[in-house]
Amino acid sequence: MHDADNFSKNIDYFREKMERREDYMSMHLPRIFANKADDLFGALLFPSRKRNDEDSEQLD
C-alpha cells in the first residue's frame, strides 16, 4: 500500500512538472525562434535596417 501511495505522488509530481514545462515551452520557444530568425535572416528580410558598426566593418 505504501508503494502505491508513493507511485501516485510521483505520477502527480511528474504530471505537474510536465505541465509547467509545456507552459514554459509555449511561452518562450516562439520568442527564442523569432530572435534566432531575426539574427539569421534579418539582413535579408529587412535590408533597410541599420547595421551595427561592427557588422559594416566586417563586410568591407
Residue 49 and residue 42 in contact, taking contact as beta carbons nearer than 8 Å: yes
Residue 58 near residue 50 (C-beta atoms within 8 A): no
CA distance 42 to 34: 10
Count: domains in the chain: 1
Instruction: Show the domain range for 38.
Output: 2-59
- Name the more confident of 8 and 54: 8
Q: What is the pLDDT of residue 37?
A: 82
Average pLDDT, integer, range 21-45: 78
